[in-house]
Amino acid sequence: MNTLSSQPYKGTRDYYPEDKRTQNYIFNTWRTVVERFGYEEYGAPIIEPIDIYAAKSGQELVNDQTYVFTDRGGRNVAIRPEMTPTISRMVAARRQELAYPARLYSIAISCVMNARSVVVSVNSGS
């Protein structure tokens, strides 16, 4: 019988309380600053249809750098490797309702093969 590892998955990390406090301090500072300039925070799903990444970034990102799987409905989806296609999709869905320039930001967790990075994206819809 194999023993379970106490190490996080390769390319990821654990956030113990002291690490999480530091991360929260940084994120809260970023939120305070960007909101002072009129930006509003948005959130998005961690999975997206693979097509939006293939259209933007090509097959290298899709084939070599992204976690892709088929969901129970038979759709090819990816764990979001970046926010640009997601925010583009969101803005397109509400283009008639948004005030422009759209002042949106996200502190998003994105997953790329062999690395898990915190991506802070301050996105403008203009």
Please write the tens of the pLDDT for every residue from 52-90: 888 776 676 677 778 889 999 999 998 888 888 899 999
| Cβ–Cβ under 8 Å, residues 73 and 84 | no
Residue 62 lies inside a defined structural domain of this protein: yes
Residue 6 forms beta bridges with which residues?
none
0.85 exceeded by pTM: no
CATH number of the domain encompassing residue 92? 3.30.930.10
Residue 97 lies inside a defined structural domain of this protein: yes
Domain boundaries, position 69: 17-124
Residue 11 lies inside a defined structural domain of this protein: no
Residue 50 lies inside a defined structural domain of this protein: yes
Residue 12 lies inside a defined structural domain of this protein: no
| Cβ–Cβ under 8 Å, residues 91 and 102 | yes
pLDDT for 24-55, tens place per residue?
A: 999 999 999 999 999 999 999 989 999 888 87
Domains in the chain: how many in total? 1
Torsion of CA 48, 49, 53, 56, to 10 degrees: -110
Instruction: In whole angstroms, give the CA distance from residue 80 to residue 7.
Output: 23
Residue 6 lies inside a defined structural domain of this protein: no
Residue 63 lies inside a defined structural domain of this protein: yes
Measuring CA to CA, which residue among 82, 98, 78 is closest to residue 90?
98
